[in-house]
C-alpha cells in the first residue's frame, strides 16, 4: 500500500472546521484525481499526506511508515527522499536559478545519479528554454515558475507525487505536456499520483476520481 489513512482528524483551531477522513487506501502506482469545492480541505489533506502537518488523531501510513509518529525532522527527510510535492504557491527560492531550484531536490533527497542531466531533460520536456535555466526564479513568468516547481518535484523520481493545482497557471499546450510526462513516469516507475485540480476536464486522465466530500464520509479507491 502506498498511502493508508485511518480515522484521521485535523483542525487548525478549536473553532475551525474539522477535516475527518474515516479511511482511504491508495495502492502503489495508482493515479488519483482529487476534487472538491474551495475551502473543503484538499490542500490540508495533501499537507497531512506529505507530513507538512500532522493530525490530532488517527493514522497516516506512507510506504509502510507511520508519518504521524515521526518527529518533524524525520518527516522532512522522509518527504525529501520519497515524495515529490508541487505546492499551490510553487515554493521556489526566488534568488536561486532555475537549475539550482530543481537541483535542490536532489540534494535533500540524496539522489544524485545523473541529476543535472535529468534536470535538463525535465526542463526541456516542460518547455523551459535553455536560456532561462540560469536565470533567477523570481524573474520568470508565473507559468514558467509553475513548470520549474513541477520539474523539481519529479527530478529525483519520487515514489509518490502530490500535486496541488499544478496546472492552474499553464496554457493548454504546457498543461498537456506536463500531464503526459507525469503519467508516463507513473507508468514507468509505478509512481503513485494524487492530483488536485478544479479543472474537471483532466479527471479522465486518471485511474480514480475522488470527491473530498465523499471521502469524508466513506472509504474510497
Q: What CATH number corresponds to the domain at position 133? A: 3.40.50.300
Q: Which domain holds residue 174?
A: 3-215
In-domain check, residue 117: yes
Per residue in 148-207, pLDDT (tens digit) is: 999 999 998 999 999 999 999 999 999 999 999 999 999 999 999 999 999 999 999 999
Separation between Cα atoms, residue 175 and residue 205, nearest integer Å: 12
In-domain check, residue 93: yes
In-domain check, residue 79: yes
In-domain check, residue 16: yes
pLDDT over threshold 70, residue 220:
no
* Number of domains observed in the structure of the chain: 1
Stretch 139-143: mean pLDDT, rounded? 95
In-domain check, residue 143: yes
* Confidence at 221, pLDDT banded by 50, 70, 90: very low
Q: Let me know: does 206 contact 191? Beta carbons within 8 Å.
A: no
In-domain check, residue 190: yes
**Which residues is 136 bridged to in the sheet?**
97
C-alpha cell at 78: 522522509
C-alpha cell at 170: 499553464
Give all strands of the β-sheet with 65-66 in edge-to-edge order: 19-26, 3-10, 57-62, 65-66
In-domain check, residue 221: no
182 CB neighbour count, 10 Å cutoff: 24
Q: What is the pLDDT of residue 114?
A: 56
In-domain check, residue 189: yes
pLDDT over threshold 70, residue 219:
no
Amino acid at each position: 500500500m502506498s498511502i493508508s489513512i485511518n480515522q484521521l482528524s485535523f483542525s487548525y483551531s478549536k473553532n475551525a472546521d474539522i477535516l475527518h477522513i474515516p479511511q482511504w487506501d491508495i495502492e502503489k502506482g495508482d493515479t488519483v484525481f482529487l476534487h472538491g469545492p474551495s475551502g473543503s480541505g484538499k490542500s490540508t489533506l495533501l499537507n497531512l499526506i506529505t507530513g507538512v502537518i500532522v493530525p490530532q488523531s488517527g493514522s497516516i501510513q506512507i510506504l509502510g511508515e507511520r508519518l504521524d509518529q515521526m518527529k518533524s525532522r524525520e518527516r522532512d527527510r522522509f518527504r525529501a527522499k520519497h515524495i515529490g510535492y508541487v505546492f499551490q504557491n510553487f515554493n521556489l527560492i526566488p534568488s536561486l536559478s532555475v537549475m539550482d531550484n530543481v537541483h535542490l531536490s536532489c540534494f535533500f533527497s540524496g539522489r544524485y545519479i545523473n541529476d543535472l542531466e535529468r534536470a535538463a531533460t525535465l526542463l526541456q520536456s516542460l518547455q523551459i528554454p535553455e536560456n532561462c535555466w540560469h536565470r533567477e526564479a523570481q524573474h520568470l513568468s508565473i507559468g514558467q515558475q509553475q513548470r520549474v516547481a513541477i520539474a523539481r518535484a519529479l527530478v529525483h523520481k519520487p515514489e509518490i507525487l502530490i500535486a496541488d493545482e499544478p496546472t492552474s497557471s499553464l496554457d493548454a499546450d504546457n498543461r498537456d505536456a506536463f500531464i503526459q510526462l507525469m503519467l508516463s513516469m507513473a507508468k514507468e516507475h509505478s509512481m503513485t499520483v494524487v492530483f488536485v485540480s478544479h479543472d474537471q476536464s483532466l479527471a479522465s486522465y486518471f485511474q480514480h476520481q475522488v470527491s473530498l466530500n465523499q471521502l469524508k464520509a466513506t472509504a474510497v479507491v
